[in-house]
Chain A
Amino acid sequence: MSKFLIPVSIMLAASVGLLFPGIIGRLRNKALEYWSKLLELVDGNIFKDLTNQQRKFGRIKESYQPVNIRALNCRIQWTKLEEENSIYDALSIEICGSIHAPNDNCDTTLQISIMDVTDGAANAKVVQSRLPQWSSQNGPDPSAFSFNARLGKLPNRVTTLSDWTSITQIRFDWLMFPRKGKRQLQFTTSIMSAEDNQQLARAQCEFTCENPFFGYTDLLENGERTNILAVALAFAVSAADNELYDCEIELIKNWARDNVLESSASDTDERKLDKALEKTIAFFRAGNNIDTYKICDEIVTIAPVAQRYDILELCLYVAQSKGSVTTEEITLLKNMAEWLGVDSEKFRIMMEKVLPVDMHQVKNVEIILGITSDMSKERVRKHLNKEYSKWNSRVTNADPDIQNQADQMLKLIAEARSQYTIQALTS
């Protein structure tokens, strides 16, 4: 099912569950998560044990298997790692049991790989590495986490560790999981001969942990979802002045084609997207509105800051495309910036570049100059002085457009300043 065959009214109600089929699956997983949490609450002993170790990464349960001393065994323990005056949560890889080497003083290396088996062994997914140095160089997935290190020489042909021994620590923040939430991990620990890379011993164990961050699959889905919502916001800006101009529509369509479609999209996919866009256009042309606050709220939840800036930039360019910008558009853009968590000063700088003052049909001095209602008169004066100095330094720029913009801004600031000065005198 194409992800962009979006029933317009449903999209515009920002109803998450009905939009993407994939999201239904996630909801199912959520149900499992709630079920397992319920079990934990019932089994008070486990819960009590775990709460003693509970911290922000929420260790839940490690699976326990009996030790076979004749073979290699591994287990994972939470630990702390100090590096460069900072302390990090880490996973300590421990082994016990026997390692059989071809000869005495055999030089060995350690290899550790991790799979996410939360959805079962048949649906195992790689755990990725956030650091290039721990990415798999030769495997099918180059982003897969693969820890390799020299372990040292084994003194005897058979080396037996009767107690659990920590052989390395892996920082938790090196790892990137498929999804957020409770994850079941399968660790494979291999001892290899450094000489000929023969496997000397291998052990597997499982470990459960709570991932508080979005996983790579989450990020992919969030990115796709965010792009859809971005298109909705862009149309909202276009329609803010009760008129959808062709240039605005064209800009949004091009953006949608570049960002919503996959690079390998077929002609059918393109047609489906165009159809969805036409329905959206019809919706807005009929005078309908969407809850932009709600959409922004969702975007803040799922999108990184950088993507939110991209969305705001798209909306600014939509407003710019017809050559002038209305009060309604400016107000909506300002509100969107606030709802998306974009710094107000950064928004103003973006607006200065994309929507220079001569494009504003009505010059809202407060929005253009960044004057807020909580500023005292003295603060306004200082702020306007700073703005004046900034634009004064641009008035001799080699670019005539910038010169022109600077001239206009200086006039605007001088007028605003005299207004506020008069207000100060009369208030």
Chain B
Amino acid sequence: MTNIVGIDLGTTFSALSILNAIGKPEIIPNADGERLTPSAIFFDEENSDIVRVGIEAINSRHLNVERSVRWIKRHMGDANYKRKIDSKEWTPVELSALILKKLKQDCSIEHGDIRDAVISVPAHFDEVRRKATMEAGKQAGLNVIGIVNEPVAAALYYATTRKVSGKVLVYDLGGGTFDVTIMEVNGHDMKIVCSQGDHALGGIDFDQKILEILEQKYKEKFKADLISSDEDRAKFEDEAEDIKKTLSRRNVAKKMLYGPAGNMKVEITREMFEKAISSLMERTDILVEVALGEAGIEPAGIDKVLLVGGSTRIPLVQQRLEKMFGKPPETAVNVDECVALGAALHAGLTMLREKPDAVSAGISSSLMDINLTDVCNHSYGTICAPVDKETGRRVIQNRIILNKNTPLPCETSQTFYTLKKGQAEVEVTITQGEGTDAEFVNKIATYKFELPPDRPAECPINVTYSYDVNQRMHCKFEDVESGRVLEVDLSLDQDGNMTETNKKEKKRQFASVAKAKVE
């Protein structure tokens, strides 16, 4: 029987969990004995094929920041982002693959080969970022059987380990991202209602606010900058993080600042910190309200608030949630680990569905009564040209066909019409995003659909989108009169129409990651 693992690939920390023989998830410590592995990479100065991942990378970066990488999750899916180390340019996918390779490697020491895995992503991650995460897993040598939203993974873990029922709000504030997911839970039956999230809001932004305070205080005293190099920045970022963590336990944090113009003792109170992060907290409040609005629920209608992510340790977070919902949030489980644990459960559920023969009886019996209904994470549509009622002109518009938060599996259709007499083809574009403005949505695929010639205008074309529980999307464009059909499958593990250049690049990336000796 295969090992079934779940991986939380976080902005600041990552963790791997495996389903044990009786279907319970367990965190597997890394080779250093730590349950959480910092998502940090350092390329050895003598030999860039030797890559340190984890705490060693954190410690090494003060020596040479240019050879260290942190927070790569923030750049996932960004085709323009590259990190140059010696003569090689590393992409976010390759760098994430190095972190995953470390986790896989360390887990394999005790548990043998690790292949089938589910990797978690923030709920608001779009198709591009999800695909990139899956690709990173493949490059690390994993068979990525699914991608799960982090709040869903956490809620899965909560629901299977303690009594949770009713309308549940999962508040996931991690190192780099923020998600809020609303679910309906009834024992082991879980239905996702909706999700909202911020791709760049997390602990590292709170650290940055503290760093700004330190810089300001230093400048006030010495009339000079605190930070004069990248190594300084790395050092003081760590100190800022330290202060933040102290302020979660105490009302004041005291530090000695050793700067280029002199040394000073600095005192930061919890009040100062809370004031500094108030604009960031405002953003989380807005997203919670937006999610409640989407779900059509008032705060009083939420039965339980679950906290996920290390940044929820900040007292202000818990206070604001208690004020909003009239009840304290749930803090019983380890907020750093519940995503990885839940991801392993999700991996088990996926294996039960896809390859039940590969699942041991113990795991099977433990998971068989769990029922998770996921939703479409984003809206999907197509570009069309309707007539604007007010101006009488044709406008290019995005028309949503599959709405965000539609329970999976789902299928919907809409009918469109050709524009001109004799129209011999239609350019069909599959979009992801909200709203009707075509400029602001992501165009994920475009195809030419050929039509019979010499026909009048306004011939109907049926467009059907379907999305299954394995996050595979199927798009069908059908010319009603002739019966001609164009069918497209979009799934996270497909490459679509890759050019030769892209194929070569992909091969090169695989080779780079395989060649790297991860320690």
Contact = CB atoms under 8 A, between A and B. Distances in A.
Interface of A: 304-306, 309, 343, 346, 349, 353, 381-382, 384-386, 388-390, 392-398, 400, 402, 407, 410-411, 413-415, 417-418
A414 B279 contact: yes
B283 A410 contact: yes
B442 interface: yes
A385 B290 contact: yes
B390 interface: yes
A414 B289 contact: no
Counting chain A CB atoms within 10 Å of each CB, the highest count among B196, B282, B441 belongs to B282
A330 to B, nearest CB: 21
Interface stretch (B312-320, B323-331, B432-440, B487-495): B432-440
A402 B442 CA distance: 11
Contacts, number: 75
Contacts of B392: 304-306
Counting chain B CB atoms within 10 Å of each CB, the highest count among A305, A353, A393 belongs to A393
A395 B279 CA distance: 18
Given A309-B391, A353-B439, A396-B126, A390 B434 contact: yes
A414 B129 contact: no
23 contacts: A304-B392, A306-B391, A309-B391, A343-B390, A381-B289, A384-B286, A385-B286, A388-B283, A388-B290, A390-B434, A392-B287, A393-B433, A393-B435, A393-B440, A395-B200, A396-B126, A396-B199, A400-B80, A407-B200, A414-B279, A417-B282, A417-B286, A418-B279
A91 to B, nearest CB: 25
Nearest to A398: B442
A414 B282 contact: yes
Contacts of A353: 439
B440 A397 contact: yes
Counting chain A CB atoms within 10 Å of each CB, the highest count among B124, B390, B392, B435 belongs to B390
A398 B128 contact: yes
Contacts of B199: 395-396
A303 to B, nearest CB: 11
Contacts of B289: 381, 385
A414 B128 contact: no
B232 interface: no
B88 interface: no
A250 to B, nearest CB: 25
Contacts of A386: 290
Contacts of B440: 393-394, 397, 402
A260 B279 CA distance: 50
B391 A305 contact: yes
B260 interface: no
Contact of A392 (B198, B282, B293): B198
A416 to B, nearest CB: 10
Contacts of B391: 304-306, 309
Given A306-B392, A397-B442, A418 B433 contact: no
A415 B293 CA distance: 20
B393 interface: yes
Interface of B: 77, 79-80, 124, 126, 128-129, 196, 198-200, 278-279, 282-283, 286-287, 289-290, 293, 390-393, 433-435, 437, 439-442
Contacts of A417: 282, 286
Contacts of A305: 390-392
Contacts of A418: 278-279, 282
Given A390-B434, A390-B435, A392-B287, A385 B293 contact: yes
Nearest to A388: B286
Nearest to B201: A410
Contact of B290 (A343, A389, A394): A389
A414 B434 contact: no
A410 B124 CA distance: 16
Given A392-B198, A393-B435, A395-B200, 7 more contacts: A385-B286, A389-B290, A396-B129, A411-B279, A415-B279, A417-B282, A418-B279
Contacts of B441: 397
Nearest to A402: B440
B488 to A, nearest CB: 19
B279 A306 contact: no
Contacts of A306: 391-393
Counting chain B CB atoms within 10 Å of each CB, the highest count among A384, A389, A396, A402 belongs to A396
A207 B293 CA distance: 61
A55 B282 CA distance: 60
A343 B196 CA distance: 30
A43 B278 CA distance: 80
Counting chain A CB atoms within 10 Å of each CB, the highest count among B199, B200, B283 belongs to B283
Nearest to A418: B282
B385 to A, nearest CB: 15
Nearest to B126: A396
A42 B391 CA distance: 43
Nearest to B437: A349
Contacts of B279: 411, 414-415, 418
Counting chain A CB atoms within 10 Å of each CB, the highest count among B283, B290, B391, B440 belongs to B440
B437 A393 contact: no
B313 to A, nearest CB: 23
A382 B298 CA distance: 13
A309 B388 CA distance: 12
A393 B380 CA distance: 13
B420 to A, nearest CB: 14
A152 B274 CA distance: 89
Nearest to A381: B289
A283 to B, nearest CB: 32
Query: What are the 8 A-B residue pairs with the smallest beta carbon separation, nearest first?
Result: A306-B391, A393-B434, A389-B290, A414-B282, A388-B286, A418-B282, A394-B440, A414-B283
Given A305-B390, A414-B279, A414-B282, A394 B433 contact: yes
A382 B440 CA distance: 22
Contacts of A389: 196, 290, 434
B353 to A, nearest CB: 29
A49 B173 CA distance: 80
Contacts of A393: 433-435, 440
A96 B466 CA distance: 64
B235 to A, nearest CB: 28
A402 B128 CA distance: 16
Given A390-B434, A390-B435, A414 B393 contact: no
A390 B437 CA distance: 11
Contacts of A343: 390
A417 B278 CA distance: 12
A305 B391 CA distance: 5
A349 B439 CA distance: 12
Nearest to B285: A417
A414 B285 CA distance: 10
A133 to B, nearest CB: 13
